Amino acid sequence: MQYMKIGKSGIQASVITLGAMGIGGGTWWRNSDDQESIRTIHQALELGVNTIDTAPVYGFGHSEEVVGKAVKGNRSKYIISTKCGLWWDDEEGSFRFEKDGHKVTRNLTAHAIRTEIERSLKRLGTDYIDIYYTHNPVCPPVMTPAQETVGTLMELKKEGKIRAIGSSNMTPDEIRQYTSLGEIDIIQGHYSMLDRNAAKEIIPLCREKGLPFHAYMPLERGLLTGKITKDYVVPAGDARDDSPLWKPGVFSRAVDFVDSLQDICQAYNCSCAHLAVAYLRAKGEDINVIAGARRVYQIEDIVHAVDVKLTESDVAEIENRIQKYNL
């Protein structure tokens, strides 16, 4: 495994992060097994993957609880990132979505952040969080001032409750605003072969600011694994249900694109999943890739992606094929 620095925090994180959204279960991710998830987290550490990304909203607390059970007794060996800002206590904030009986709002007030972190600390069974993200920026009608949000995070850092501050799903202007108000250590966002928007402005801005980028959904929820066929039907309410890539028409082209990568996979003796992660890592050593895993075999497989070093010409060829399939 390879490791990288997270901003100025002193944190050394594995370049592959175990994504724990699926571990939360619920209608987003059915058929989760808590004991298997715990074994997966333990095996990840054995393989050098010391970094876990979770959030309160993943299973409405359940993902954090499972992670907490898994790291018990070995807490100092893990780098845990979790988040604040998606709130379901009451209707304070701006409505975001409704899921599994909860109405979720975007809420980045000082009150909400301080309430959320105490609950996360309890669920995780720890007295500090390594990387604490704002999950989403605020949106109308409730626009909490960034000064309040970043100021609260800086206070929590001084209190020793968090080691590093991160922000997820931000626009370039929001990143500039946050970094002008406090010490932000990392930016998180969606980035994959099939969603390269982050490469246009966000990642260049991160480099300008000296910030690593935490890329989530590199496998597009399984679409880039090479195991999905055109007859696959997304279950109602599944986490993939709202992704445009899984909609008719686009989905068919995406499957054809993945199938077209077999010759490149053969050349590197790797799987499509490895190739998808390696593509992002080829875009910069400052890119940390979050790979979801809730089964031991999944984490045992994906770690091999760090050994796949793509040439510039093969990266260009992958991008030619993306364009060919109009993706």
Encode pLDDT of 12-51 as tens digits.
Answer: 999 999 999 999 988 777 788 999 999 999 999 999 999 9
Q: Could you give the angle at the alpha carbon of 66 between the alpha carbons of 187 and 275, nearest 5°?
A: 50
Residue 212 within any structural domain of the chain = yes
d(CA 271, CA 104): 37
d(CA 44, CA 42): 5
Residue 125 within any structural domain of the chain = yes
Domain, as residue range, for 82: 3-221+279-310
Q: Which one is catalytic: 58, 133, 191, 279?
A: 58
Number of domains present in the structure of the chain: 1
Residue 15 within any structural domain of the chain = yes
Is a pLDDT exceeding 90 seen at residue 181? yes
Kindly tell me the sign of the dihedral angle through the C-alpha atoms of 69, 31, 57, 6.
Answer: positive
Residue 76 within any structural domain of the chain = yes
Distance between start and end Cα atoms, the chain: 31
CATH of the domain at 139: 3.20.20.100
Is a pLDDT exceeding 80 seen at residue 239? no
Structure tokens at 169: 């799903």
Is a pLDDT exceeding 80 seen at residue 143? yes
Of 308, 276, 307, which is closest to residue 292 (Cα–Cα)? 276
Residue 233 within any structural domain of the chain = no
Bridge pairing between strands 129-134 and 94-99: unpaired
Q: Active site includes 58?
A: yes
Residue 144 within any structural domain of the chain = yes
What is the residue type of 31? N
Residue 90 within any structural domain of the chain = yes
Mean pLDDT of 218-239: 87
Residue 267 within any structural domain of the chain = no
Which residues is 134 bridged to in the sheet?
84, 167
Q: What is the pTM of this model?
A: 0.95
Of 69, 68, 55, which is closest to residue 24 (Cα–Cα)? 55
Q: What is the pLDDT of residue 99?
A: 86
Q: What is the pLDDT of residue 249?
A: 86
d(CA 125, CA 68): 5
d(CA 133, CA 85): 9
CA distances (Å), origin 52, targets 16, 67, 156, 157, 261: 9, 8, 20, 19, 29
Mean pLDDT of 171-190: 98
